[in-house]
Structure 1
Amino acid sequence: MSYRYMRIIVMFDLPTLNSIDMKNYRTFRKFLVKNGFMMMQESVYSKIALNQSMANLIANKVRDNKPPKGLVQMFIITEKQFSRMEILVGEVSEEYITDDRRLIIL
């Protein structure tokens, strides 16, 4: 069976002016982490999905848990497209799985 791995990327810029805004920020960030998203850089999180239908389910879950204010952007790309990302400055984090092998020994 062939799988077409997808990557969901969520980027957000949320206000943190008062205690309610801070709570919304923390709640949204905790939601992402609890649901398997990993931080790529500050306010940019990604998660791998097995196929397009799973990616759509995850995207719907993010839509259902979006904060009331601020900017939240999300897109879905194939794992092949994600692997062609060019790192211009900095180092690649070892926390991310960057290939599509079924068994990865850490």
Structure 2
Amino acid sequence: MRLLVMFDLPMETASQRREYRKFRKYLIKQGVFMLQESNYCKMVPNSSAGEFIVEGLRSNKPPEGSVQILKITEKQFAKMEYLVGHSINNVINDDRRLVIL
């Protein structure tokens, strides 16, 4: 399954920018990768592991702004359409992308 993390955090003051950087660094440290600016994704093996990540996000969420989490299956994620200026054919976007360490 995949966790999609979408957030909108204020960045008007120095403390808000610091909280934004701190949250973003936490996401990267947890192995969450950026899909787009303020849209991140994490692959998890099952829902209990996903719940563990969600609890960590709850405890590290900045005091201001909103953070949204969407849980989807790998099959649903693979159906995502990429609408860009030109077609990208070398992106592996299915189960073959999974690396087991």
Q: TM-score, normalising length from structure 1?
A: 0.81
Q: 2:75 matched to 1:75?
A: no
Aligned residue in 1 for 2:13: 18
Cα deviation, 1:5-49, whole Å, max 9, x if unaligned, reads x10010111111111001000000000000000000001000000
Secondary structure at the aligned position of 2:95 is classed as coil
Give ranges in structure 1 of 5+ residues lacking alignment: 1-5
Aligned residue in 2 for 1:9: 4
**Which of 13, 19, 22 is matched with 1:27 structurally?**
22
Aligned residue in 2 for 1:3: none
Give ranges in structure 2 of 5+ residues lacking alignment: none
Query: Alignment RMSD, CA only?
Result: 2.1
Aligned residue in 1 for 2:79: 84
More helix by share: 2
Q: How many residues align?
A: 97
Cα deviation, 1:37-86, whole Å, max 9, x if unaligned, reads 00000010000001111111111111111110012111111011000011
Q: TM-score, normalising length from structure 2?
A: 0.85
**Which of 53, 58, 63 is matched with 1:63 structurally?**
58
> Structure 1: how far apart are the matches of 2:14 and 2:29?
22
